[in-house]
């Protein structure tokens, strides 16, 4: 009989709506990060580096990019005879068919999958954080405490604590209280959305709570376990962990990679991050180019100037273009003489010559102040920008735009042009 | 595809000087991200050849490591795939491969058990793109016994290190001289041949009976009058890397946009083993011009007209000019490297000066590395 001590369930179905046009057509875990990777590479690499070789990836929102990226798991050595990676979309059932309505509901709908591997423990992960973590150490902690549930937590500034699930633990790390997004947090230990459940506990909780609508770990399952008086422990993590849920934090996390010795170091031999990458040639830096404090992916061709930026694979930056403080994703072309400052430009975007992007005063976004409010110009994938236009800050562009879309050749700060995809 | 492939990758070339101490020529790193054999392997897979055997002999550690998984070239299949044949001791043979023909003879079983009618033989040290189907069609159309792919070299180039051929007006080979003292033409053999499988087995078995071991001397040259041996002229880029000068020049060719376009951006692609290196990183002080930079590099100094392979670290105030830095080299601060090839995994201490004065200097220092 197949037996795995611990399997991982990776929640990758969310949209990540606060990433705006970046996630209009792709799920958040499939968004590019750090010049080479996609966000889901971090938890997947953590799994294989921690010795977990069975991972179920739950997908729902716009899964195409995610599916092609994961494939049969070759880049992470998750192509296994027994176990490996399995993509788990919602499916039709003879009685009630439904989408995944909440994190715990999604796991509940895949009880059969977990059952196949006869696990002792199940690790619940989410696909939208940047960190390196050894889950095996967390499992040892779980076993040593004879815990039913272990929640990974990290200290956050108390003023931000109300955005998270907050735990209060005693000196033995046993959880006394659990508050989901409390108004007045009574501790600064935030749940990282990483849980280890003993299998029978998880199964029992999911079955008991199966009729709960939008069943969620933080809102329902953890409080349920707590009320039942189970052994809940908090596992404190003090390394680098970044939630890249907003354009601002996404931009910041990328920018942190270009420090001389970044806090989150991709160049360490130990604990490598794996990704599906095409077989690409080296990058070519031409005689006119100037690059300073940046990371640049394979296959790029750089003839312009690049400062403080993260440039993904296959990007072309033409002569005379100046790119500063920006994130440019795969295969995008920046035309001759463009000026780009503090912009996030997604994959396969074509920017014609002599455009100025991210200039002028910062104005409030007319599309959504919650999403576009970091002084960033954001351009969604496959967009086209006509020559010579000026684009302000807190702007959003998605789709093939033409000169007519820019009155007097200008898209003022806070404005937007959405011509493709879902908003 | 009606052919199986054989890649002869056992060779060593003492004209590669120190560079060949570490590895067979077929495993030489090329153009930042590739190894020499990737070109032949990619041509095989792009020509839809499904069974390919690589014969190795001389220092094959790097080569075997590179070929440890065949999935990069899409050879990880149930049907066919990539076979690596090292010389082995058997009950009736305890020799190394005594020559190219002998290497085929010692693996004749592979040929006998195949069912494809033709064989494509290639070498591991050619840098080129070629659809072998074109050669095969030509071979059939000419009713040839053997077809040799040839390349017309520029008139001023010294071709005496190659096999030089002379053709009649029908492209049948009239003369074939291996490494002549004085070359009688500028048409050289690229070491790529097409031949019918049964024919090859016959010729190789005859050779073995007569104690002959070399494919060029004992088959091509010896049989050129009784067999129909034709030449197929290759038009596009072809380069052979088996001397230091040609190795250097071939890598530098990739700084030209037409060569880069041809190999990097035009279909079909060249495949290679994928590493898990992060993107290249440019810190303050980096000043890179007209150079190829590969993944995993960290650059703090000046790099000009050079090719940096994977995971090269360039310290502050370094100056790298007209040089090739192979994989995983650490260059300490204030180092000056000019007209050099720096051997892979080397550590160059701070304040070192290397400059090739008349020709290319090969730098091998073998220092211990203490940095992380």
Least confident of A320-329, B17-26, B239-248: B17-26
DSSP secondary-structure letter at B274? P
Tokens linked to B91: 């009950």
Residues A183-189 have a mean pLDDT of 91
Using the Cβ of A284 and the Cβ atoms of chain B, whether some distance falls under 8 Å is answered with yes
Calculate Rg over the CA atoms of chain B.
21
Helix (H, G, I), strand (E, B) or coil at A147: coil
Contact B278 A267 (CB under 8 A): yes
Total beta-carbon pairs less than 8 A apart between chain A and chain B: 110
Give me the pLDDT at residue B283, please: 96
**ipTM of the complex, rounded to two decimals:** 0.91
Residue B372: pLDDT over 60: no
pLDDT(B172) > 80? yes
pLDDT exceeds cutoff 90 at A159: no
Closest Cα of chain B to A293: distance in Å?
A: 4
Quickly state the pLDDT bin for A132 (edges 50, 70, 90): very high
pLDDT tens for A284-296 read: 999 999 999 999 9
Domain boundaries, chain B: 3-265, 281-363
Instruction: State mean pLDDT over A305-333.
Output: 97
Cβ-Cβ contacts under 8 Å, B294 against chain A:
282-283, 298
pLDDT of residue A423: 45
Residue A396, H or E segment: strand A395-398
Tell me if B288 and A299 make a contact (CB, 8 A cut-off).
no
| Cβ neighbours of residue B225 closer than 8 Å, sequence gap 6 or more | none
Nearest CB neighbour to B294, from listed A282, A293, A306: A282
pLDDT digits 0-9 by tens, B308-348? 999 999 999 999 999 999 999 999 999 999 999 999 999 99
CA dihedral A317, A321, A327, A333 (to 10 degrees): -40
pLDDT of A421 reads: 63
pLDDT for A361 beyond 80: yes
d(CA A313, CA A258): 16
Q: Does A102 have pLDDT greater than 70? A: yes
Helix (H) or strand (E) holding B315: none
pLDDT at B156: 87
A307 CA to centre of own chain: 24
Q: What is the mean pLDDT of chain B?
A: 94
Q: What is the mean pLDDT of residues A243-269?
A: 92
Q: Structure tokens of B68? A: 């440890």
* Distance from chain centroid for Cα A66: 12
B293 neighbourhood in chain A, CB within 8 Å: 282-285, 296
Q: Is the dihedral of CA A372, A27, A219, A101 positive or negative?
A: positive
Using alpha carbons only, how large is chain A's radius of gyration in Å? 23
| Tally of helices (H runs) and strands (E runs) in chain A | 8, 33
Identify the band that residue A56 occupies on the pLDDT scale cut at 50, 70 and 90.
Answer: very high
CA-CA distances (angstroms) from residue B6 to A244, A396, B3, B99? 50, 55, 10, 14
Better-predicted residue by pLDDT, A394 or B78: A394
* Range B146-166 average pLDDT: 94
Chain B partners of A35 at a C-beta cutoff of 8 Å?
278-279
Q: Give CA–CA dist B93/B108, Å, rounded.
A: 13
Interchain pair B264, A258: CB under 8 A: no
pLDDT at A180: 86
Q: Is the pLDDT of residue B304 over 80?
A: yes
Q: pTM for this one?
A: 0.93
Q: Which residues contact B166 (CB under 8 A, 6 or more apart)?
A: B173, B174, B175, B176, B184, B185, B187
CATH superfamily of B3-265: Spore Coat Polysaccharide Biosynthesis Protein SpsA; Chain A (3.90.550.10)
Looking at residues B7-24, what average pLDDT do you find? Answer: 87
Task: Verify whether the Cβ–Cβ distance B32 to A258 is below 8 Å.
Answer: no
Which residues on A lie below 8 Å from B307 (Cβ)?
A: 282
E-strand ranges in A12-95 read 32-33, 37-38, 54-58, 84-88
Looking at per-residue pLDDT, the higher value among A260 and A39 belongs to A39
- Helix, strand, coil % over all residues of chain A, rounded to 5: 20, 30, 50
Report the gap between the CA of A259 and the closest CA in chain B (Å). Answer: 8
Contact, B40 vs B66, CB < 8 A?
A: no
What does pLDDT average to over chain A?
94
Query: Alpha-carbon torsion B96, B101, B104, B106, what sign?
Result: negative
Three-state DSSP class for residue A235: strand
Taking 60 as the threshold, does the pLDDT of residue A367 lie above it? yes
Q: Is A196 in CB contact (< 8 Å) with chain B?
A: no
Contact residues, chain B, for A291 at CB < 8 Å: 282, 286, 288
At A130, is the pLDDT very low, low, confident or very high (cuts 50, 70, 90)? very high
**Residues across chain A:** 423
Contacts of B279 in chain A (CB under 8 A): 34-36, 295-298, 311-313
- A15-29, A335-349, B84-98, B217-231: range with lowest mean pLDDT: B84-98
Using CB atoms and an 8 Å cut-off, which of residues 82-141 of chain A contact chain B? Answer: none
Residue of A nearest to B311 (CA): A267
Tokens of B372: 């992380």
Contact (Cβ atoms closer than 8 angstroms) between residue A25 and residue A66: no
The set of residues, in sequence order, having a beta carbon less than 8 Å from that of B181 and lying 6+ positions away, is: B160
CATH entry, B281-363, from 3.40.50.620, 2.60.40.10, 2.160.10.10, 3.30.2310.20: 2.160.10.10
């Amino acid at each position: 009989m197949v037996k795995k001590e611990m399997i991982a369930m990776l929640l990758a179905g969310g949209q990540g709506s606060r990433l705006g046009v970046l996630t209009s057509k792709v799920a958040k875990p499939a968004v590019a990060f750090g010049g080479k990777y996609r966000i889901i590479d971090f938890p997947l690499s953590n799994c294989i580096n921690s010795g977990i070789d069975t991972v179920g990836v739950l997908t729902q929102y716009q899964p195409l990019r995610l599916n092609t990226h994961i494939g049969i798991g070759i880049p992470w050595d998750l192509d296994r005879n027994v176990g490996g990676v399995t993509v788990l979309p919602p499916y039709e059932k003879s009685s009630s068919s439904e989408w995944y309505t909440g994190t715990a509901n999604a796991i509940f709908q895949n009880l059969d999958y977990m059952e196949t591997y006869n696990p002792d423990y199940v690790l619940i992960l989410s696909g939208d954080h940047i960190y390196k973590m050894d889950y095996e150490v967390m499992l040892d902690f779980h076993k040593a405490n004879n815990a039913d549930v272990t929640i990974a937590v990290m200290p956050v500034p108390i003023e931000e604590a109300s955005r998270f699930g907050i735990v209060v633990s005693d000196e033995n790390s046993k959880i006394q209280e659990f508050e989901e997004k409390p108004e007045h947090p009574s501790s600064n230990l935030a749940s990282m959305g990483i849980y280890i459940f003993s299998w029978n506990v998880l199964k029992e909780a999911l079955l008991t709570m199966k009729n709960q609508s939008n069943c969620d770990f933080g809102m329902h399952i953890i409080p349920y376990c707590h009320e039942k008086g189970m052994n809940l422990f908090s596992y404190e993590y003090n390394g680098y962990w970044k939630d890249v849920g907003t354009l601002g934090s996404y931009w910041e996390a990328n920018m942190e990679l270009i420090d001389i010795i970044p806090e989150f170091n991709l160049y360490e031999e130990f604990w490598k991050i794996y990704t599906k990458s095409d077989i690409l040639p080296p990058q070519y830096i031409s005689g006119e180019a100037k690059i300073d404090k940046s990371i640049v992916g394979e296959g790029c061709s750089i003839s312009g100037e690049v400062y403080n930026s993260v440039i993904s694979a296959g990007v072309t930056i033409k002569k005379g273009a100046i790119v500063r403080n920006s994130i440019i994703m795969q295969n995008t072309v920046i035309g001759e003489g463009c000026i780009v400052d503090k912009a996030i430009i997604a994959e396969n975007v074509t920017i014609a010559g002599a455009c100025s992007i991210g200039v002028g005063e910062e104005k409030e976004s007319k599309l959504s102040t919650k999403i576009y409010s970091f002084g960033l110009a954001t351009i969604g994938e496959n967009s086209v920008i006509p020559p010579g236009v000026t684009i302000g800050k807190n702007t959003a562009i998605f789709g093939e735009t033409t000169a007519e879309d820019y009155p007097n050749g200008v898209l003022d700060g806070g404005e937007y042009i959405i011509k493709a995809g879902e908003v | 595809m009606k052919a199986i492939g054989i890649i002869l990758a056992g060779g060593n070339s003492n004209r590669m000087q120190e560079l060949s101490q570490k590895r067979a020529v077929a495993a030489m790193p090329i153009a930042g991200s590739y190894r020499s054999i990737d070109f032949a392997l990619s041509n095989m897979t792009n020509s839809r050849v499904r069974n390919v055997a690589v014969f190795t002999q001389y220092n094959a550690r790097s080569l075997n490591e590179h070929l440890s998984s065949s999935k990069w070239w899409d050879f990880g299949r149930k049907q066919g795939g990539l076979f690596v044949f090292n010389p082995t001791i058997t009950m009736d043979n305890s020799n190394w491969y005594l020559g190219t023909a002998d290497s085929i003879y010692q693996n004749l079983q592979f040929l006998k058990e195949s069912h494809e009618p033709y064989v494509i033989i290639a070498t591991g040290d050619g840098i080129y793109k070629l659809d072998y189907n074109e050669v095969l069609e030509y071979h059939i159309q000419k009713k040839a016994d053997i077809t040799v792919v040839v390349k017309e070299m520029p008139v001023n180039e010294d071709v005496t290190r190659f096999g030089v051929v002379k053709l009649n007006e029908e492209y049948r080979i009239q003369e074939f001289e291996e490494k002549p003292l004085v070359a009688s033409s500028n048409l050289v053999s690229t070491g790529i041949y097409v031949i019918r499988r049964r024919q090859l087995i016959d010729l190789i078995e005859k050779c073995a009976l007569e104690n002959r071991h070399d494919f060029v001397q004992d088959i091509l040259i010896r049989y050129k009058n009784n067999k129909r041996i034709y030449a197929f002229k290759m038009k596009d880029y072809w380069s052979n890397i088996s001397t230091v000068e040609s190795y250097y020049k071939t890598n530098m060719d990739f700084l030209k946009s037409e060569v880069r376009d041809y190999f990097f951006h035009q279909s079909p692609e060249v495949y290679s083993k994928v590493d898990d290196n992060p993107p290249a990183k440019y810190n303050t002080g980096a000043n890179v011009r007209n150079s190829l930079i590969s993944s995993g590099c960290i650059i703090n100094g000046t790099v000009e007209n050079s090719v940096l392979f994977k995971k090269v670290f360039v310290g502050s105030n370094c100056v790298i000019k007209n040089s090739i830095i192979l994989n995983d080299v650490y260059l300490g601060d204030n180092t000056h490297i000019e007209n050099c090839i720096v051997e892979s995994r080397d550590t160059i201490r701070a304040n070192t000066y290397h400059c090739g004065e008349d020709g290319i200097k090969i730098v091998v220092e073998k220092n211990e590395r203490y940095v992380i």
